Amino acid sequence: MRDNRSRFRLVLTVKIILIVLATYISITNGVFDMSVMDVVRTLLRLGSSPEQDLVIFEFRLPRIVIAALVGYGLGVAGAVIQGITRNGLADPGILGINAGAGASVVAFMFFFQGQFTDASWFSIMAMPLFGLAGGLLAAALIYMFAWRNGTLDPQRLILVGIAIGSGLGAVALYLSLKMNPNDFEMATVWLTGSIWNANWTHISGMLPWLILLVPVLLRKGHILDLMQLNEESVKSLGVSVEKERNRLLLSSIGIVSACVSVSGSIGFVGLMAPHIAKRLTGIAHRHVLPLSGTIGMLMVIAADFIAKTVFTPVELPVGIVISIIGVPYFFYLLSRAKK
């Protein structure tokens, strides 16, 4: 037990150092390169220039903060969903929850197009609520079709999630095609997973959701450990399985919806981060959940840096960069599951 705790602390410390390193590289490099001292002077307000203020506070820092928050939220939510379903291939994107939240947010864009600016307080605060409604709808449909003989069939869950995700993705695409050209372009970039338009208002819109819901999930690590047993065994230990599952699922959907509302549909973070965490620290969810969050944070920060620099002056959506890595990893997991 003590060895596992020490290993977890070591791995978490290494991940935090890597996150700091990735943040340093992202904030100092780009079209407008800056030295470490330039960044320090700007952050501490010691003789910074207007150009440096603009680059750091308006462009790079909000983008890094949103990448970190989105990565952490998707990593934790992915670990919880895999724990609830007892399926290592489950993920908010694969199960269609991302698509449900995304379709709902696109519907919001469609019905209110041209009436609110992208950074208005109304849109920033309302989009997570619309995303939550869409995520709940997707989850309800998945449960309805994947439930068999009183239990949740893990195989049907994946198949139903893929089907529902495809259907809701088609709905989102149809609505985006009905938008005016400017809103269509914004919706298309957003659907591929992008944080290029990040600002402090977006952060203030999603941060309360993470502050409220992430601690709920982190405190439920022992419940997720018990849920890996069969349902009758868990009930015999005095755990209200349905109540706990619903609470965990609702909290996960709320986090995913908040992330989708500011970054679009970024897939595979919730799939890969928990698997990497379990390989590094074992299967105890009290360790897996926070480590999945930090791994997701590192993934999105690094992918966003690659997206904005490798193909300069063209910028790729961060979701595409992660998918380039995530698709082969998914097939790798699928091949392992068949053995």
Q: Provide φ and ψ at 151, rounded to 5°.
A: -130, 160
Q: Nearest 10 degrees: CA dihedral of 187, 59, 272, 212?
A: -90
Q: What is the pLDDT of residue 86?
A: 82
Q: Whole-prediction pTM value?
A: 0.88
Ranges 152-156, 276-280, 325-329, most confident? 276-280
User: How many whole angstroms separate alpha carbon 205 and alpha carbon 122?
Assistant: 10
Residue 69 has pLDDT above 90, yes or no: yes
Which is more confident, 196 or 106? Answer: 106
Over its C-alpha atoms, the chain yields an Rg (Å, rounded) of 20
Residue 116 has pLDDT above 50, yes or no: no
Q: What is the pLDDT of residue 124?
A: 67
Tokens of 39: 């960044």
Give the CATH number of the domain where residue 327 resides.
1.10.3470.10
CA 58 to chain CA centroid, nearest Å: 23
Tokens of 58: 């308006």
Residue 117 has pLDDT above 70, yes or no: no
Lowest mean pLDDT among 133-137, 182-186, 222-226, 323-327: 182-186
User: How many whole angstroms separate alpha carbon 37 and alpha carbon 27?
Assistant: 12
Number of folded domains that form the chain: 1
DSSP secondary structure letters along 39-107? HHHHHTTSS--HHHHIIIIIIIHHHHHHHHHHHHHHHHHHHHHHHHHT-TT--TTTTTHHHHHHHHHHH
What's the whole-number mean pLDDT along residues 145-163?
Answer: 76
Q: What is the pLDDT of residues 195-248, one digit of tens each?
A: 877 788 888 888 888 999 999 999 988 889 888 877 777 777 777 877 888 888
What's the whole-number mean pLDDT along residues 174-199?
Answer: 79
Q: What is the pLDDT of residue 244?
A: 86
Residue 309 has pLDDT above 80, yes or no: yes
114 pLDDT tier (thresholds 50, 70, 90): low
Where does residue 325 rank: exposed (0-12), middle (13-18), buried (19+ CB within 10 A)? middle
Domain containing residue 125: 2-338
What's the whole-number mean pLDDT along residues 50-75?
Answer: 89
